[in-house]
Amino acid sequence: MAAAPGKCFLVSGPPGVGKTTLVIRVLESLTNSNPNLKVQGFYTREVREGSERVGFDVVTLDGRKGPLSSTKISTPESFRWPTVGQYKVDLASFESLALPELQVKEDTDLFIIDEVGKMELFSSSFFPAVLKVLQSNIPVLATIPIPRSGRDIPGVARLRNHPGATVFTLSTSNRDAIKEQIYSELIDLLHKN
């Protein structure tokens, strides 16, 4: 059984447009209007030194965090890690935090997955866990990168083309409207369940 139409909300857009911020704002609005909402998942947050972005942390919704990637890590172990541009991806840290958050539980109302992107997809366990979440029929709010040079990452393309997926392409001019639209659709969906 796959996610029903309209149960997978994908937020796409260029880097820095506010995808993570939108997801967090929607989540805050949902939990303010429904304090008993059971939400699982994670988001990614930039790590900065001054004005320079030096990596990303993965943060669970209960506040645990660890490195996803960094330009500053230089250990013997890190030389074997996959890279995306200048960032070394710490798969062990990512998997230890993100994968338990993607375990389907009966009482979960909503999953937050920020992001399904190149760094995360280096984990061979991550995409199968995302697919299990989609098959659970529990609503999902996730972020995905925009295609580069007209090419989508295969896992991202699969999500984008999923029958239950609605893709919202974010820009600086439509952020507020899209936040309200996703919030409204999720409120309707959560009240029906």
- pLDDT tens digit sequence for 30-53: 999 999 999 999 999 999 999 999
pLDDT tops 50 at residue 1: no
If one counts every other C-beta atom within 10 angstroms of the C-beta of residue 104, the result is: 15
Note whether 5 and 185 are within 8 A (CB).
no
pLDDT category of residue 98 using cuts at 50, 70 and 90? very high
Region 51-70: mean pLDDT is 96
Q: What is the pTM of this model?
A: 0.93
pLDDT of residue 130: 96
pLDDT tops 90 at residue 3: no
pLDDT category of residue 88 using cuts at 50, 70 and 90? very high
pLDDT tops 90 at residue 192: no
- Can you tell me the distance from the alpha carbon of 16 to that of 64, in angstroms, rounded to the nearest whole number? 23
- Can you tell me the distance from the alpha carbon of 145 to that of 17, in angstroms, rounded to the nearest whole number? 11
Q: What is the mean pLDDT of the chain?
A: 92
